[in-house]
């Protein structure tokens, strides 16, 4: 069905480079191009999300949002980026300097690794192997180490409390994210990104998997919001209590890394939800509606993926600007007393559907 894919272009580029230079040099050039491309897309997507959230927030609060710098305020995010880049990185006394400097790099590295795992289109992905989902969950867990180190190394009671809150929150809600992902992996029978998308060619998993898939999606969205420390689960950064939480003492580019990772983690959570529940880059296909399906195939695969991810991100942003912040005991009670037991029962229900072949 998909005759022209991005793999056709990448294969041609690889063959062209290997024709005129040694294989090691061709591989090095390809890695550099991919790395630079990832950094550019990462930065541009973060700028878009900053602008997007400001506009959505303004609409909810009957305001205009950014509207001065550039047409419709489009350049406001770029102005903020340049401002942050030229800000001084303040050196503090009585801190663990090495861990203080290491923490933001751990957070941004975890974010970049998970970002690099996402399949953006048909053949447009960097990493694809048989344990792709497992690898993505594993590298995403590195970020909590950076947050804990940032809070502890700052030698500040507010940052320490924020870091401890974040550690408890992220470790707790990773269980719900993992079980939601496991539910869909069990349904798909594979952890490969390519195979996950291919199995949704006729119908997305959110429709194929009946009620367990819908429950898994709802729990994933709630847990994913908590995992990214976004409202109403933003206790680690509670401004009214902890000034700025675990990154209170950071400034300049180091603060920018935390800020950047928060917005890109929003896209990563949305991208994984798109991959597991809404077909990834696969167009919307309805069995029996061949004419409709042919029209859907004309839309580029990367447009499908980015569009779905932004739509899910809108739901998560909607959460933040609608619900009040939870207390720490309410937050942990929600996970351990409600989401986790429901997830376990839902996983068993999905297994029964698979065993008795009750899915579409």
pLDDT along the chain (360 residues), means of 10: 65 83 86 88 90 92 89 90 86 85 90 88 81 88 88 85 84 91 92 89 86 93 88 74 76 86 90 92 85 87 92 91 86 92 94 82
Q: What is the pLDDT of residue 178?
A: 92
Q: What is the pLDDT of residue 305?
A: 93
Residue 344 lies in a domain: yes
Q: What is the pLDDT of residue 321?
A: 87
Residue 135 lies in a domain: yes
Q: What is the pLDDT of residue 238?
A: 67
Among 85, 193, 81, smallest CA distance to 137 is for 193
Angle at CA 241, nearest 5°, toward 238 and 245? 50
Dist CA 209 CA 270 (whole Å)? 19
Structure tokens at 83: 């401002």
Dist CA 147 CA 79 (whole Å)? 27
Residue 360 lies in a domain: no
Question: CA 68 from chain center: how many Å?
Answer: 30
Residue 333 lies in a domain: yes
Segments forming the whole domain that contains residue 34? 6-355
Q: What is the pLDDT of residue 1?
A: 46
Q: What is the pLDDT of residue 2?
A: 47
Q: Where are the beta strands (DSSP E) in the chain?
A: none
Residue 1 lies in a domain: no
Residue 316 lies in a domain: yes
Task: Provide the domain count of the chain.
Answer: 1
Crossing angle for the helix pair 23-60 and 252-277, nearest 10 degrees?
Answer: 90
């Amino acid at each position: 069905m998909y005759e022209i894919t991005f793999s056709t272009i990448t294969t041609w580029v690889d063959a062209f480079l290997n024709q005129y230079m040694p294989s090691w040099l061709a591989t090095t050039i390809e890695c550099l191009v991919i790395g630079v491309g990832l950094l550019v897309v990462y930065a541009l997507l973060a700028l878009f999300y900053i602008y997007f959230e400001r506009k959505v927030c303004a609409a909810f609060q009957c305001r205009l949002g950014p509207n001065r710098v550039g047409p419709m305020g489009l350049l406001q995010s770029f102005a903020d980026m340049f401002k942050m880049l030229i800000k001084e990185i303040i050196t503090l006394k009585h801190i663990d300097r090495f861990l203080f400097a290491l923490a933001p790099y751990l957070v941004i590295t975890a974010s970049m690794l998970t970002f690099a795992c996402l399949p953006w289109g048909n053949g447009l992905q960097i990493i694809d192997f048989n344990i792709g989902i497992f690898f993505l969950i594993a590298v995403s867990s590195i970020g909590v180490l950076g947050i804990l180190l940032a809070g502890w190394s700052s030698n500040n009671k507010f940052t320490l409390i924020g870091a401890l809150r974040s550690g408890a929150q992220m470790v707790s809600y990773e269980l719900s994210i993992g079980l939601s992902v496991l539910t869909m992996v069990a349904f798909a029978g594979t952890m490969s990104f390519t195979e996950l998308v291919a199995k949704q060619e006729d119908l997305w998993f959110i429709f194929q998997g009946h009620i367990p898939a819908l429950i898994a999606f709802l729990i994933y969205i709630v847990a994913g919001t908590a995992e990214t420390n976004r409202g109403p689960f933003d206790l680690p950064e509670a401004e009214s209590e902890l000034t700025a939480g675990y990154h209170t003492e950071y400034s300049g580019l180091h603060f920018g890394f935390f800020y950047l990772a928060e917005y890109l983690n929003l896209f990563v959570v949305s991208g994984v939800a798109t991959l597991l529940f809404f077909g990834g880059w696969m167009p919307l296909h309805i069995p029996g509606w061949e004419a409709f399906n042919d029209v859907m195939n004309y839309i580029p695969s990367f447009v499908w993926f980015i569009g779905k991810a932004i739509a899910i991100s809108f739901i998560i942003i909607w959460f933040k600007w609608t619900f009040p912040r939870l207390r720490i005991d309410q937050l942990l009670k929600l996970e351990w007393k409600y989401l986790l037991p429901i997830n376990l029962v839902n996983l068993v229900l999905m297994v029964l559907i698979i065993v008795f072949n009750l899915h579409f």
